Amino acid sequence: MLNFIYWPISAILWFWHKAFSLVLDPGSGITWALSIMFLTFTVRLVLVKPMLNTMRSQRKMQDMSPRLQEIREKYKNDQQKMMEESRKLQKEVGVNPIAGCLPMLVQIPVFIGLFHVLRSFNRTGEGVGQLEMTIEQNRDTPNYIFGVGEVQSFLDARLFGVPLSAYITMPEDMFQAFQPVDFTRPHIALVAAPMIIIIVIATHMNARLSVNRQEARKASGKQAAPQNDQMAMQMQMMNKMMLWFMPATILFTGFIWTIGLLIYMMSNNVWTFFQQRYIFGKMDAEEAAEDEIKKAAKRSTAPKPGVKPNNPKKRRK
């Protein structure tokens, strides 16, 4: 059902594995780890422009907030007219609320797709998503775009002595897919746990960067304060979720994530840190340029010192 996600994800991973195999051992865990990292960077690079457009759209929405509030007050007893006028305003200003969610929505299927593709290198287990293959069947069955040789290469690859498809709670009968079985569950935990902790801390720090900027913009008057106590509470709750709930979720679900998926999450968080700094800096520069244009326009229309203001209405009186 989700093949339209799995095939493209496996194709990008396959491409980077081929690229790194030109200079590194194709069967090395480092080669496969770098392939996962650059899969992450490829997807995030494609999303930089949509993210910039999202930030610009959010700024426009803040600018049109007073006009939107006027429409809500004017048509508070006519929901259909309120929606119609709100859409007209959004079209006039050039804002698409749905497009603002695109970068986040795209990352969700990428995460799901990579989770499935990495787990599908080992299909010997029982339960959801597993095919209960024998070790021999698993090693001789392609995995989406990956051929039999590449499946065997992935299964034999080790990162710090642990297979990339291994995860802390992996059933012991699935260990046999990785020959030789020269690792244990504590060994997997020793590799996975530090990455989980890094991801948790990085997720919190990236959220902190966003929240701090939001607060700084409010203090400087560049971002409108919530219009009522309910909206203020909602925003406060969202910020707390970003800062604490999301990192906690990662902490308590990390035991089901494969080593490969943890590499993806670490890479994603590193990219997010530098991308946010770049985008925030670019947005601040654009805002400063817009403010300067507005100030210049006011100066050009203001009367010169010693000259009376030109007021046609007063002359007519």
Q: What is the pLDDT of residue 304?
A: 64
What pLDDT digit, counting tens, does each position of 117-133 carry? 888 888 887 766 667 78
Residue in 169, 151, 165 with CA at minimum distance from that of residue 261: 165
Is a pLDDT exceeding 80 seen at residue 12? yes
Tens of pLDDT along 226-243?
A: 556 666 677 777 878 888
Residue range 53-75: average pLDDT?
74
Enter the tokens of residue 138. 């698993």
Name which residue leads in pLDDT, 168 or 230: 168
Q: Say whether pLDDT at 284 is over 90.
A: no
Instruction: Name the residue with tokens 């959004």.
Output: 90
Round to whole Å and give the CA distance between 268 and 277.
14
According to the model, what pLDDT value does residue 144 have? 92
Q: For the chain, which residues make up each domain, given as ranges?
A: 3-285
Q: What is the pLDDT of residue 224?
A: 58
What single letter denotes the amino acid at residue 302? A
- Looking at residue 132, its pLDDT comes to 78
Q: What is the mean pLDDT of residues 99-128?
A: 77
Percent of the chain with pLDDT over 90: 29
pLDDT in tens, 232-275: 677 777 878 888 888 899 889 988 898 998 999 999 998 998 98
What distance in Å separates the CA atoms of residue 146 and residue 15, rounded to the nearest whole number?
Answer: 10
Q: Give me the pLDDT at residue 130, please.
A: 66
Q: Which of 1-5, 29-33, 209-213 has the highest mean pLDDT?
A: 29-33
For the cut 70, the answer to whether the pLDDT of residue 96 exceeds it is no
Q: Which two tokens stand for residue 227?
A: 């219009």
